[in-house]
């Protein structure tokens, strides 16, 4: 293999030529014209193959017919190096085949070797072509890298958005300006009853049916309001959603436009929140105010009437006057108890409950309560029974609040038991591995097991009207009263809420079992012989 490297080279040329005369003519051309070529000469395909294995060139000039191959063989090894075919065979078919195969150009050799005169221009064009191709390739690579980077960023942002939306506790639904659904999170699935895969691309009106909770008439969608006004819009405070199964769910709805940087609206995002709990609390508070008003008015009216009667009749017989004063005294007690209940709830909510801690004689407490309610039970001919075991242990707590707890439970039992019924209160001590969690209320739920401990168990059972199963989770809520169409019983909905708080303060728990028209049993579990700090 013959090789010559010129000084101050700028272009790397590979000449593949098996004719020694043509090789020499090429070298003379480079020298005479002072071409800035750093050239390598290969006298055969085998030499060219060996050279191309470890070297790169800007241009390759290849004789078509070589002793051990052709220019097509070199072309296959040249990769992206421009290849110029040079041959004395002026075959148009070969030229077309070469160009189709990827050769940059095709020149015809002549006997006088005049083709060498045009070779520098062809090489120059090949270099320019390669430079342009390299620039395009680099641009393509840069563009491809940029697209990949932006795609990865979009995927990360999309994933972050998806995680954020899915982790939200509110229902999120997004639509385009044609109201086709484009986003539907997990909470939306749970609230509406529809699956994301089922609603993608659907018109929102097909699955979102708001109504007025009071009139049951169709309501206006906040999305339609946004499309009209172009501004953030809210639903009404009486909105309810008709879910997939036809049930109603009170909702709070807000919708806002989604805009591009130029302000063009491209969609609307709507956030829905289940406000069943808030509406229920509002209803309970309204019922509470109505109930308290009635409960206050009734005894006050009676007191006012009896006092007026006494004042108008100075000569009223003493026996009649005494009977009237007894009624006034009883009605005053009712007022006092009602006001105390309201104040107790207020103290609990404000965190100003006073709590004393001392040994409590639970037997004496139960006896005092039974004595106090005896006249109430007697009016309905209800049999009161006490079943108090010996050796109950020492209960450390607030005696006044324990008495209030027992009083509320027994009074409720009498209130909700028809005439000739039975109310039983029992107290016993037991060893239990059940953990009493301060602040918790259990409705027949198993608790976490811990080391065996001593508990005081107080149960109040009745043969009354019972509690509907669906109401059991709510009966300890403040202001809640069981809805009993046609036989609603007076009350404020505070008694059991106060009982629960007292039980929580003593680190205990309360459970309830009930069956309609057969009665209820409330069971309180309080820890014994413990110096554990009480929850207040």
Q: What is the CATH number of the domain that holds 345?
A: 1.10.287.130
Residues 6+ apart with CB under 8 A from 191: 171, 241, 243, 249, 251, 272, 274
Please report the pLDDT score of residue 44 as a whole number: 92
What is the pLDDT at residue 486? 63
Residues 393 and 506 in one domain: yes
Distance (Å) of CA 211 to CA 191, 231, 236, 243, 534: 15, 22, 10, 11, 48
- Digits of tens for pLDDT over the chain (536 positions)? 343 333 345 789 999 998 898 889 899 998 988 899 989 999 999 999 999 988 989 999 998 888 898 889 998 888 888 999 888 776 778 888 888 888 888 888 887 888 888 889 888 888 888 888 888 888 888 888 888 888 787 777 666 666 656 666 788 888 999 999 988 888 888 889 999 889 888 999 998 889 988 888 998 899 999 999 999 999 888 899 999 998 889 999 999 998 988 888 989 999 988 888 888 878 777 777 777 777 778 788 888 988 998 898 888 898 988 888 988 888 888 788 778 777 777 776 666 667 788 899 999 999 999 999 998 899 999 999 999 998 888 888 999 889 989 999 999 999 999 999 999 999 999 886 544 443 344 444 334 444 567 899 999 999 999 989 988 888 888 777 787 766 667 666 778 888 998 998 888 999 999 998 899 999 999 998 655 434 44
Whether 198 and 321 share a structural domain: no
> Do 200 and 294 reside in the same domain of the chain?
no
Helix (H) / strand (E) containing 453: strand 449-462
What secondary structure does DSSP assign to 354-412, as a single string?
----EEE-HHHHHHHHHHHHHHHHHHTTPEEEEEE-S----EEE-HHHHHHHHHHHHHH
Considering the domain architecture, whether residues 464 and 511 belong to the same structural domain is answered as yes
**CATH at 45:** 3.40.50.2300
Query: What integer pLDDT is reported at residue 7 of this predicted model?
Result: 39
Rg (C-alpha) for the chain, rounded Å, is 48
CA angle 96, 102, 106 (to 5 degrees): 50
Which whole-number Å values give the CA distances from 341 to 122, 284, 408, 415, 478, in the listed order? 106, 16, 10, 17, 11
346 occurs within a structural domain: yes
Q: Is 222 exposed, middle or buried (0-12, 13-18, 19+ CB in 10 A)?
A: buried
Domain that holds residue 213: 169-274
- 180 shares a domain with 91: no
Total count of domains within the chain: 4
Q: How many Å is the maximal CA-CA distance in the chain?
A: 159
- Residue 396 sits in a domain whose CATH number is 3.30.565.10
Would 152 be classed as within a structural domain?
Answer: no
Q: Are residues 96 and 231 in the same domain?
A: no
Determine, yes or no, domain membership for 44. yes
Q: Using an 8 Å Cβ cutoff, are 450 and 433 in contact?
A: yes
Residues 382 and 519 in one domain: yes
**CB-count exposure of residue 170 (10 Å: 0-12, 13-18, 19+):** middle
250: domain CATH number? 3.30.450.20
**Distance between first and last Cα of the chain:** 100
Of 296, 284, 288, 401, residue with least CA distance to 344: 401
Both tokens assigned to 482: 């069981």
The whole-angstrom separation of Cα 40 and Cα 23 is: 10
In a domain, 74, yes or no: yes
Is residue 157 situated within a structural domain? no
C-alpha of 244 from chain center: 20
On whether both 379 and 449 belong to a single domain, the answer is yes
In a domain, 175, yes or no: yes
């Amino acid at each position: 293999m013959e090789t010559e490297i010129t000084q101050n080279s700028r272009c790397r040329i590979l000449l593949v030529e098996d004719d020694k005369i043509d090789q020499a003519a090429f070298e003379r051309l480079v020298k005479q014209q002072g071409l800035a070529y750093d050239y390598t000469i290969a006298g055969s395909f085998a030499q060219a193959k060996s050279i191309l294995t470890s070297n790169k060139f800007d241009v390759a000039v290849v004789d078509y017919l070589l002793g051990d191959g052709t220019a097509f063989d070199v072309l296959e090894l040249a990769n992206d190096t421009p290849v110029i075919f040079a041959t004395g065979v002026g075959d148009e078919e070969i030229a077309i085949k070469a160009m189709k195969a990827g050769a940059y150009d095709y020149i015809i050799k002549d006997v006088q070797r005049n083709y060498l005169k045009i070779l520098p221009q062809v090489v120059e064009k090949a270099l320019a072509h390669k430079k342009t191709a390299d620039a395009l390739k680099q641009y393509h690579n840069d563009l491809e890298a940029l697209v990949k980077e932006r795609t990865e960023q979009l995927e990360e942002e999309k994933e972050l958005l998806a995680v954020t939306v899915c982790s939200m506790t509110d229902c999120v639904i997004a639509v385009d300006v044609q109201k086709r659904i484009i986003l539907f999170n997990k909470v939306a699935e749970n609230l509406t009853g529809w699956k994301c895969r089922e609603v993608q691309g659907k018109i929102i009106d097909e699955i979102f049916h708001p109504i007025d909770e009071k009139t049951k008439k169709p309501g206006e969608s906040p999305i339609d309001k946004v499309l009209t006004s172009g501004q953030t819009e809210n639903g009404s405070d009486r909105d309810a959603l008709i879910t997939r199964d036809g049930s109603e769910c009170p909702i709070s709805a807000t919708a806002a436009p989604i805009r591009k940087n130029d302000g063009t609206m491209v969609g609307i995002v709507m956030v829905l929140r289940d406000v069943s709990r808030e509406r229920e609390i509002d209803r309970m508070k309204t019922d509470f105010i109505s109930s308290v008003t009635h409960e206050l008015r009734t005894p006050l009216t009676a007191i006012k009437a009896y006092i007026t009667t006494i004042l108008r009749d100075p000569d009223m017989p003493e026996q009649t006057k005494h009977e009237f004063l007894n009624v006034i005294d009883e009605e005053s007690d009712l007022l006092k108890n009602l006001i105390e209940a309201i104040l107790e709830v207020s103290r609990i909510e404000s965190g100003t409950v006073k709590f004393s801690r001392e040994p409590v004689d639970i037997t004496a407490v139960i006896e005092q309560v039974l004595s106090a309610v005896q006249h109430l039970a007697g009016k309905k001919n209800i049999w009161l029974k006490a079943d108090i075991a010996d050796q109950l242990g020492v209960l450390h707590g607030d005696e006044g609040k324990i008495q209030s707890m027992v009083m509320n439970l027994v009074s409720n039992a009498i209130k909700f038991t028809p005439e000739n019924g039975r109310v039983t209160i029992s107290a016993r001590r037991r060893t239990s591995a059940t953990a009493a969690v301060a602040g918790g209320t259990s409705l027949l739920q198993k608790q976490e097991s811990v080391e065996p401990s001593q508990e005081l168990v107080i149960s109040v059972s009745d043969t009354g009207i019972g509690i509907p199963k669906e109401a059991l989770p709510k009966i300890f809520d403040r202001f809640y009263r069981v809805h009993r169409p046609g036989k609603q019983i007076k009350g404020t909905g505070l008694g059991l809420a106060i009982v629960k708080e007292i039980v929580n303060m003593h680190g205990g728990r309360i459970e309830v079992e009930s069956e309609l028209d057969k009665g209820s049993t409330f069971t309180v579990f309080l820890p014994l012989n413990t110096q554990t700090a009480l929850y207040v």
